[in-house]
Amino acid sequence: MDNVFGLYNYWVVIFLMMTGFYIVISQRNLIKKVIGLNIFQTSVFLLYITIGKVEGGTAPIVSEGFNVYTNPLPSVLILTAIVVGVATTSVALALIVRIREAYETIEEDEILAQEKLT
Amino acid sequence: MIKQNLLALQIVIPLIAAPLCILLRRRALVWGFAVLVCWLTFGISVVLLRQVLETGLVSYEMGGWAAPWGIEYRADPLSAFVLLFVSGIGAIVLSSAGLKDTALDEIPVSRQYLFFTLYLLCLTGLLGITITGDLFNVFVFLEISALSSYGLIGLGGRRQALPAAFQYLVMGTIGATFILIGIGLMYMMTGTLNMADMAERLVMADGGRTALVAFGFLTVGIGIKMALFPLHIWLPNAYAYAPSLVTAFLAATATKVSVYILLRFVFSVFGVTFAFETLGLGGVLMFLSLLGIFVASTVAIFQTNIKRMLAYSSVAQIGYMVLGISFASTTGLVAGIVHLFNHALIKGGLFMAMGCVMLRLKSVDIEDMAGIGRKMPFTMAAWAVGGLGLIGIPATAGFISKWYLIRAALEQNWWIVAVMVLISSLLAVIYVWRVIETAFFKEPSARAREAREAPLSMLLPTWVLVGATLFFGVMTSTSAGVAGRAAEVLLRVIP
């Protein structure tokens, strides 16, 4: 039982990771690909935050009566990674806007079909 | 004071200069400023390399926080060597963007100042990856360089550049996220992010399955980033449709820095014993690199777009570097590292020559290039010299790489591998000769008849790069000497 409930967060992480990865690979719509990419990245954020949790620890603020603190570093690292994720998404969306202008579609198959003709 | 802060300045100068480019806007002004910054960065890396060769290691504590807690910047012979050629090629390529009538004209005038901003940001990212001693910092700089290169590729004049940039973005983000997962798992095992500290703790920790998974994620992630066959599919389109200057810069530096990350992780963090004896990484890398060399070289032969052909050739050349690494011997590592440097010069020169061709022909199709050698003799002569280097003719830099590679193979009695390296060079002969024959011995095409020689501002940087391949093909003691030092340090870290 410990493997199921004790590692609950990790199961969620792996499920989300594979869901996101599958969406990126299987979907032909560019927006859906970006959404998949986001889910994939978010699962990693969750992984880092889970790593930082110390059992029985409180929030990492020094105060009397508490000796065990949760590790704050992974959360701080993941703040940076979230910013990177937002930047990636915005660059991707900007590219999609320009792809839409150039090809009048955001379906990968149709873009490829247009390239074959020209 | 400047001397103590060199490591920080190496990154900070281009990083601060990048947004300033937006303020300057005027083409001549922003170009002069960016070129100045690039050459300054190159100057710093020259001083750094000299310091490192004297003392062996230069270290800097960011913000005054001591090493395992704060972020440490450190330069050993390998990183100083990579810094040197990345900043050097960055400076040379940007210098050619000149005032008027250059490859920069491929980018619409309204977006040209953005090109300089992104270029400097990309340079910052690549240098940062190389200089940092902190694992998470590697990821951050990786994304800085990657995001700016998506933007740079998207600046390409033809619309195909956009899907190419998007595909690169998807692949690149997956690769970087894999690396992030690997770093997270390693932090989980050791509780540190400093590379040197982690290398010590990993030996004691005996990570077991977590170490295995972390290593897997990292290798695949870095494999995508450096376009190791079969993870290379983003590369040919991205290089073919990006503006010529961008292709010349990225082809010469981006994948090389990724190979550097692989070397760093495998040799400095995980250690040779774990990677090669416990996991058998050598066999996997050798198989993939040989497969990549043959498949990519063969595909290159059938390309009609010459930039695309050179891109496939890049995939094959990455194979040679990885093949050298897969031997895990001093000679093998020297072959890999020296080929990093040589190939950066060769591909930089070749893509710069393609930039000249693109400028005059508005096309890089082999049909349009027929007879171009008569109209643009200096450009195509540079191409021919670069092409010979790609094949590995003696007295060019490419020969040195192949020489070390074959010696490394024979040292371990892998004579089959040595023979395969020789045979694969013949494939390079075919695709290089195809272009030379078309350019020099065929009747000029309609476009070629109207072409004239590229301006001096483009030719000079091209010939500097191509000349360097000849120089380092003869004066081998310089490049191979530094590579030798780097290889020794890498193998000595964890005996």
- What is the structure's pLDDT at A66? 81
Range of the domain at A111: 2-56+67-117
Range of the domain at B301: 6-492
3-class secondary-structure state, position B290: helix
Give the C-alpha separation, A60 to A71, whole Å. Answer: 7
3-class secondary-structure state, position B483: helix
- What is the structure's pLDDT at A1? 56
Give the C-alpha separation, B243 to B221, whole Å. Answer: 26
Place of tokens 């990350």: B261
Q: Which residues of A touch B174 (CB under 8 A)?
A: 21, 24, 37, 40
Residue A90: CB partners within 8 Å, gap ≥ 6? none
Place of tokens 């890049």: B314
Contact B132, B91 (CB under 8 A): no
What tens digit of pLDDT does each residue of B380-409 get?
899 999 999 888 888 888 888 888 888 888
Bridge partner list, B305: B365
Give the C-alpha separation, A43 to B240, whole Å. Answer: 34
Amino acid at B266: V
Q: What is the CA radius of gyration of chain A?
A: 20
- What is the structure's pLDDT at B207? 59
Task: Mark yes or no for CB contact B170/A44 under 8 Å.
Answer: no
Contact A43, A16 (CB under 8 A): yes
How far are the Cα atoms of A14, A96, A117, B150 from residue A105, in angstroms, in the given order?
33, 9, 15, 20
Whose CA is closest to B366, among B458, B429, B298, B448? B448
Give the C-alpha separation, B56 to B49, whole Å. Answer: 10
- What is the structure's pLDDT at B442? 82
Task: Mark yes or no for CB contact A102/B162 under 8 Å.
Answer: yes
In this structure, the strands spanning B58-61 and B72-75 are antiparallel
Total domains, chain B:
1
Amino acid at B385: V
DSSP code of B71? -
- What is the structure's pLDDT at A118? 57
Indicate yes or no: pTM above 0.95: no
Bridge partner list, B73: B60, B132
Q: CATH number, domain at A80?
A: 1.10.287.3510
Place of tokens 């043959």: B294
Q: Looking at the complex, does the CB of residue B233 fall below 8 Å from at least one CB of chain A? A: no
Amino acid at A42: T
Place of tokens 């300045």: B9
Task: Mark yes or no for CB contact A44/B181 under 8 Å.
Answer: yes
| B154 closest CB neighbour out of A87, A88, A98 | A98
- What is the structure's pLDDT at B246? 92
The length of chain A is 118
Cis previous bond, A60, omega within 30: no
| B170 closest CB neighbour out of A33, A48, A77 | A33
- What is the structure's pLDDT at A2? 66
- What is the structure's pLDDT at B494? 40
- What is the structure's pLDDT at B495? 36
A65/chain B closest Cα distance in angstroms: 25
B263/chain A closest Cα distance in angstroms: 24
What are the residues of chain A with a beta carbon less than 8 Å away from any beta carbon of chain B? Answer: 21, 24, 30, 33, 37, 40-41, 44, 47-48, 51, 74, 77, 80-81, 84, 87-88, 91-92, 95-96, 98-99, 102-103, 108, 111, 115
Residue A39 lies in a domain: yes
Alpha helices (runs of H) in B327-376, residue ranges in sequence order: 330-361, 372-375
Quote the ipTM score.
Answer: 0.93
Residue A61 lies in a domain: no
Residue B1 lies in a domain: no
Locate the chain A residue with the closest alpha carbon to B188: A51
Give the C-alpha separation, B239 to B161, whole Å. Answer: 9
Total domains, chain A:
1
Residue B260 lies in a domain: yes
Bridge partner list, B194: B134
Count of other CB atoms within 10 angstroms of residue B25 = 12
In B42-112, where do the E strands start and end? Answer: 58-61, 72-75
Q: Which residues of chain B have pLDDT under 50?
A: 493-495
Give the C-alpha separation, B444 to A32, whole Å. Answer: 47
Between chain A and chain B, how many beta carbons pairs sit less than 8 Å apart? 66
Structural tokens at position A17: 């990771």
Structural tokens at position B339: 């080929």
How far are the Cα atoms of A105, B167, B236 from residue A28, in angstroms, in the given order?
11, 12, 20
3-class secondary-structure state, position B404: helix
Task: Mark yes or no for CB contact B166/A99 under 8 Å.
Answer: yes
